[in-house]
Chains A and B, each alone.
Chain A
Amino acid sequence: MILHTVNKYSDCISACMSVADKEDAVLLLEDGVYAALDMDDNRHFWASISTVSRHYVLEADLAARGISDKMLARFNVVSWQDFVALSAESDKVISWG
């Protein structure tokens, strides 16, 4: 299982999804958290993605941007400690940005 971290809100998310596998997990960080925002573009994007079974978003980065209560339902909010645990249980971590 690969943990894909995404720290920008750009086409790097598409690139990430195109090489991801069904068992992989994605964790949105920094400006990447905007991809979890409940809005049309994001809703359509994630609906079109058949890879990646687990979706996470970092609590601190959501809070910093004031969007903690505006997320798509598929995303699970995680702490820094959860981030460490996710990294440790993954075969490898790929940082996209």
Chain B
Amino acid sequence: MSNDSLVILVRHTPYSSHHARAAMDLTLTAAAFDSDVGVVFMDEGVFQLISGQDTGTSGFKNVGKMIPALAAYDVDKVYVHTPSAARFSIEDEYAMDGLLPLDDEALKTLVQNARHVMVY
């Protein structure tokens, strides 16, 4: 990763709090400023990746539809922490292709080497 890299760790479920939306806003903002940005879905955050999310009239924006759209904003480093996905048995239910798998060691390396790390 470059000297100005930003890694965003997403650890919360999609609709329990403002975290998911805030993470998405930051990701898109960073991408708009040509930052070297990577997003990691880990712990309960992996639930954001599940396909078929239907927010209906809940008032929430559908995170499951926003994540596959990230590539259109030049965010091509979207990671999934595979031990987290395995823990919740959702490895076959992702809403998008091209997720980059991260094991514990790779996640640690990514965090240690990034210039900035934000946790949501």
Q: A residues bordering B, Cβ < 8 Å? A: 2, 11-12, 15, 18-21, 92, 94-97
Known: A15-B11, A18-B108, A19-B111. A92 touches B116 (CB 8 A): yes
**Majority secondary structure of chain A interface residues (helix, strand, loop or mixed):** mixed
Contacts of B108 in A (CB 8 A): 18-21
CA distance A11 to B112 in the complex (A): 20
Q: CB within 8 A of A97: which of B43, B111, B112, B119? A: B119
The reply to whether B42 and A92 contact each other, CB–CB distance below 8 Å, is no
In this assembly, does B117 line the interface, its C-beta being within 8 Å of a C-beta of chain A?
A: yes
Q: List residues of chain B with CB within 8 A of the CB of A11.
A: 43
Contacts of B114 in A (CB 8 A): 92
CA distance A19 to B119 in the complex (A): 12
A80 and B108 CA atoms in complex are apart in Å by 29
> Are the CB atoms of B104 and A2 closer together than 8 Å?
no
> Which size class do B's interface residues fall under?
10 to 19
Contact with A along B35-77 (1 / 0, CB 8 A): 0000000110000000000000000000000000000000000
B43 partner, pick from A15, A92, A94, beta carbons under 8 A:
A15
> Would you call A18 and B104 a contact (CB within 8 A)?
yes
Could you name 18 residue pairs across A and B whose Cβ atoms are closer than 8 Å?
A: A2-B112, A11-B43, A12-B119, A15-B9, A15-B11, A15-B43, A19-B107, A20-B108, A21-B108, A92-B114, A92-B115, A92-B116, A92-B117, A94-B111, A94-B117, A95-B119, A96-B119, A97-B119
Q: Which residue of A lies closest to B42 (CB)?
A: A15
Contacts of A21 in B (CB 8 A): 108, 112
Q: Which residue of B lies closest to A91 (CB)?
A: B115
Q: For residue B9, which residues in chain A have a CB less than 8 angstroms away from its CB?
A: 15
